[in-house]
Structure 1
Amino acid sequence: MKYSAMILAAGSGQRCGLGYNKLLYRFEDGETILEKSVRAFERQADCAQIVLVISEGDEEIIRSLFGNRVEYVYGGASRQDSSLNGLAAVCYDYVMIHDGARPYVSDEEIQACAKRLETCDACLLMVPAKDTIKVVEKGQVMSTLKRESLMIALTPQCFKTALIKECTQKAKRDGAVVTDDASIVEMYGDRPVEVVCGSYANIKITTPDDLK
């Protein structure tokens, strides 16, 4: 089954404190964070399209990193806007949406998502929560959540393209604020979002400690 990959790379990454887009940080092997994220999908035989959502200010340097296989779209004012801009360029029936700040996604994770998409319309990589999670309000613990039912969302998050487009458009219309694409389908879709077991190594580069 052929699918599109949409990689979000339009953020500024201010929490990393680099003074530039963190996705352009180079590891010791010479590759940037973004290159590693994109290469993961370039390796997949069934990935027929790669759409890279970028900021206009980073366009020149990002275009210098990749060949003609990558398509470029400008991001928007919000994450939902960036997703909508990227989805407008998607031309296959299924899409994997990946955070460019997750350079350690494995071939096995991507292939497991592709396999699950053969039997469902929405799924995402997740790992079980290791820590105890407490609800805190105004500096006081209000409750402790049952760890057995908690999982941490990763990317890629994968959808039938028509479904995620429709749900994202509805979220934009309503001004809904969400932190990931699966949440949009949870809110506006009529089909379940299934879980694909991921790896704890698939971390998101967020702070300087993540670069060590």
Structure 2
Amino acid sequence: MRYSAVILAAGSGTRVGLGYNKLLYKIDEETIIEKTVKVFEQDASCSEIILVISKNDEKDMRSLFGNRVQFVFGGATRQESSYHGVNAAHEDIVMIHDGARPYVSQDELNRCKKAMESYDAALLMVPVKDTIKVVKQDVVDHTPERSTLMAALTPQCFKKDLICECLKKAINSQDVFSDDASVVERLSNTKVHVVMGEYTNIKITTKEDL
């Protein structure tokens, strides 16, 4: 199964506090975004890599990659950036991945591909380890049953026509969505299939993550 990889890299990463896009931070002499892209470059099923970037980072990003990576500019929201990337894809299956998740494994990609042979939408998830509290106005409102809770990872995988249609609706609705799977959950009748991920597939969000 062939697919298009859409890697979101247009965020500013202000929570890390570097003063520049955290994806350009080097770990072991390699930037975070290079590590992320490499995983997809090494997957023979990935026919194209579309990197969604900020205009401010264009020069730096283009200097890192060869001809296999395509570049599109992001939008004001996550759903706009995802839409720009997905709209540039040529395959019927797209995997949308956070550029700040450089440790996604080949096994995870293989499980995603297997799921997309049977489903129209799927995402990597892991069971939460901690007890989660719902808090309102600095007071615990309730404690949901931990066995029903899972943390969403990426990539999140979709039939291209489905996610394009849902992202268009999301942009027009002006609602805020924290990930692409929630767009499909709320704006279509399609069920999103859960694919077991790995705890090592972390998202670099704060300075502590670095």
Cα distance in 2, alignment partners of residues 207 and 174 from structure 1: 30
Which residue does the alignment assign to 1:191?
A: 190
Which residue number corresponds to residue 76 of structure 1? Answer: 75
1:90 maps onto 2:89 in alignment: yes
1:200 aligned partner, one-letter code: Y
Give the Cα–Cα distance (whole angstroms) in 2 for the partners of residues 5 and 189 of structure 1: 22
Q: Which residue of 2 aligns with 1:40?
A: 39
| 2:150 matched residue in structure 1 | 151
Which residue number in structure 1 is paired with residue 6 of structure 2? Answer: 6
CA distance in 2, matches of 1:111, 1:36: 18
- Name the counterpart of 1:171: 170
SS of residue paired to 1:96: strand
Aligned amino acid, residue 7 of structure 2: I
**Which sections of structure 1, spanning at least 5 residues, go unmatched?**
none
**Aligned partners of 1:53 and 1:93: how far apart in 2?**
19
Q: Deviations over 1:28-50 (max 9, x none)?
A: 2x111000110010011010011
Counterpart in the other structure of 2:115:
116
CA distance in 2, matches of 1:161, 1:114: 14
Partners of 2:147 and 2:97 in 1: CA distance: 26
1:143-193 deviation digits (Å, cap 9, x = unpaired) = 000000000000000000000000111111111210000000000122210
Q: Deviations over 1:110-131 (max 9, x none)?
A: 1110111011000000000101
Q: Distance in 1 between matches of 2:88 and 2:26?
A: 28
Q: How many correspondences in the alignment?
A: 210
Distance (Å, rounded) in 2 between the aligned partners of 1:70 and 1:61: 14
What is aligned with 2:24? 24
Offset from partner CA, 1:23-75 (integer Å, 9 cap, x none)? 000012x1110001100100110100110000011111111111100000001
TM-score by length of 2: 0.99
Distance in 1 separating the partners of 2:129 and 2:204: 19
Give the counterpart letter for 2:106 in structure 1.
D
- Cα distance in structure 1, aligned partners of 2:2 and 2:167: 22
Q: Distance between the aligned counterparts of 1:209 and 1:142, measured in 2?
A: 29
Identity among equivalent pairs (%): 60
Tell me by how many angstroms 1:15 deviates: 0.4
Deviation at 1:141, TM superposition (A): 0.7
How does the TM-score come out when normalised to structure 1?
A: 0.98
- For structure 2, the residue ranges without an aligned partner over 5 or more in a row are none
Aligned equivalents of 2:187, 2:139: Cα separation in 1:
33
Compute the RMSD of aligned alpha carbons: 0.6
Amino acid corresponding to residue 9 of structure 1 in structure 2: A
